[in-house]
Amino acid sequence: MQPGLLVISVRTLAISGVATLLAIVVGVPIGYLIARRPFFGRTALLGFVNTGMGMPPVVVGLVVWLVLVRNGPFGPLGLIYTPSAMMLAQFLLATPVIVGFTTASFQALPPRLSDLLRSLGAGPFRTAWLLAREAHIGLLAAVMAAFGAVVSEVGASMIVGGNLARSTRVLTTAIVTETSRGDVERALLLGIVLFALSLVVSLVLTVVQQRNRP
């Protein structure tokens, strides 16, 4: 393995993995509430969520940069051009994906299923857990889609991370750097590693998703 490749690969997995996990923690409960609790403006909210699912990474990166840059509202925190800034940008990209897929997964369940579970004595949290188990195929698809979206993005990472070799360079930004230098061989190697990393994560989640299915 070429020097630095392992470090860049681990950094890529760590940043995108943490961002996806945070998006799951925030997005799944929001998607559940949107799906199971009718309220005024739900369709409009879903429209915004669906728009967010296709939000260009460079736009998200620009917004995060404006917030974290030195003269921005959170500039004193010193987060710009750090892995934390990249995690924040990727979290904002992943969360609408998680919310959108989660909402669709729960809405696909029989409408009266939650009433049936409550009539059998299940409390609110138990009901939510059982519904999540029923919707697990869609929920895992949400995780795969969100991770795939953030691990492959480059615009937001370049803007808020700065592509610093020793701290914020990830596989996607490294590919851009090596290509601009004319080192096509190394760029291809980085691309293969990125593809392999995404493939392994997707295969693991797919095995869990399809377990015990006929």
- Write the pLDDT tens digit of every residue in 126-163: 878 888 888 888 999 999 999 999 999 999 999 999 99
Q: What is the pLDDT of residue 1?
A: 46
The rounded distance, in Å, linking the Cα atoms of 16 and 170 is 10
Q: What is the pLDDT at residue 210?
A: 79
d(CA 169, CA 26): 26
Q: Contact, 98 vs 24, CB < 8 A?
A: yes
The stretch 93-115 carries a mean pLDDT of 88
pTM assigned to the model: 0.90
Q: Quick one: average pLDDT of 100-123?
A: 80
CA 147 to chain centre: 5
Contact 154, 57 (CB under 8 A): yes
Q: 87: pLDDT confidence band, cut at 50, 70 and 90?
A: very high
- List of residues 6+ apart from 97 with CB closer than 8 A: 23, 27, 53, 142, 145, 146, 149
For residues 134 and 106, give the distance between their C-alpha atoms in angstroms, rounded to a whole number. 9
Which of 20-24, 55-59, 105-109, 148-152 shows the lowest mean pLDDT across its residues?
Answer: 105-109
Rounded Cα gap, residues 176 and 158, in angstroms: 10
DSSP symbol at 2: -
Decide: 161 and 83 in contact? Cβ < 8 Å. yes
Domains and CATH numbers, the chain: 5-210 (1.10.3720.10)
Give the least confident one: 13-22, 117-126, 143-152: 117-126
